[in-house]
Chains A and B, each alone.
Chain A
């Protein structure tokens, strides 16, 4: 075991080095930039034997990633915010063409107004694309999730791309101790990718991404739906296998003190750490509060969520994103997939600091609800 004190961006880069992709087309953007810089260094030093393509935009980065993945090799790219927006067209193509690409997204707010700080609107806006999405809480989870994602994405029953989402600056630019797994163990867990289905090979010509008329299009889309369903089981199995080898498991969701809870907060990403400390403090005062961290957001783990929330009277959903008029994405999913009394709290947009005081405010507002969707921390008082 090698313990290094690094940022989540460096943890992502270390995970990529261990996963040995053959092609890395990447375009830098704050706060992802250091991922592309670490990878450039690894390739330059010979620590990572990959083709590092310095593309002219994010649209090109993901296009190159699809082209490379189409030849049947492992591919990595990373982006953030406006870069992800520029990739939007190709995001859907990567999923529809069933390319097992793994991409890190350093979660950052979307313009306008221009803002480089953290929220999760960028990746949430790609939610319907057919990519699997994992929201990590810390640097260790970021590293583990990249390695796990390759194994899930490349599974014959899945073949969908994965997006590992990490909160910009909060994770990307703060350091914490991270266990870097032994390369030989990673090699054993994640051997070289051997594609079974269509891939570009001069000796076996074929067309990828061609026109599909109304007679076939829906079936191709339904294959994505089936793959997304299949992936739930695959993610669980891969996580179990990872746990056996590396001694760490992360789960589809992670409950914290939910068993006797009167209110459970449902959240994604780094905010879960803040919520845990608030819960610990309130539990000392006798308040029964719990946390349900959603780690895997797509596929949506409805079964696990319902199991944990079964006896919970009230749910407070925390969203670092908003769909204007209907609340955050996670709230909408919880309302659709559970029959719980749930309230939504839009918080921390554009990097607005989230302190324990705001989390306590969320709990108070869930006890005495006034409206379905509440914006927390607005100047002049919450709405």
Chain B
């Protein structure tokens, strides 16, 4: 069914709606430096980092918390 007036006609729409466009800064992980501590996964407020430490840029807002929490400075923040 077509949506008019911003109606959400099916449940689970957050999986379809990407929110990564809000980002100004983008965290980039150097997996060579990563020591697998998983701090970034636990501190990411958006749950945008998976178990393999891949960052999901469809949802990452670029808050930079992962950069701050990384003990080995494996994540650099870049301007989008």
Contacts and interface: CB of A to CB of B under 8 A. Distances in A.
Answer whether A and B are interacting partners.
yes
Contact residues of A: prevailing secondary structure: loop
Given A197-B1, A198-B1, A214 B6 contact: no
Q: How large is the interface on A (under 10, 10 to 19, 20 to 34, 35 or more residues)?
A: 20 to 34
Contacts of A99: 5
Given A208-B5, A220-B6, 6 more contacts: A97-B6, A159-B4, A197-B3, A210-B8, A214-B22, A223-B5
Nearest to A223: B4
A210 B8 CA distance: 8
A208 B7 contact: yes
Contacts of B22: 213-214
Given A198-B1, A198-B3, A214-B22, A206 B17 contact: no
B73 interface: no
Contact of A198 (B4, B11, B18): B4
B2 interface: yes
A197 B2 CA distance: 7
Interface residues of B, number: 16
A39 B4 CA distance: 31
Nearest to B8: A207
A381 interface: no
Contacts of A215: 17-19, 21
B21 A198 contact: no
A209 interface: yes
A155 to B, nearest CB: 12
A216 B4 contact: no
Contact residues of B: prevailing secondary structure: loop
A45 interface: no
B59 to A, nearest CB: 12
Interface string B1-42: 111111111110000011101100000000000000000000
Interface of A: 96-99, 159, 197-198, 205-210, 212-217, 220, 223
A209 B17 contact: no
Contacts of A220: 5-6
A216 B17 contact: yes
4 closest cross-chain pairs (CB), A and B:
A98-B5, A198-B7, A207-B8, A97-B5
A216 to B, nearest CB: 7
Contacts of B2: 197
Q: Which of B6, B7, B18, B19 lies at the interface centre, i.e. has the most chain A CB atoms within 10 A of its CB?
A: B6
B31 to A, nearest CB: 30
Contact of A97 (B1, B7, B10): B7
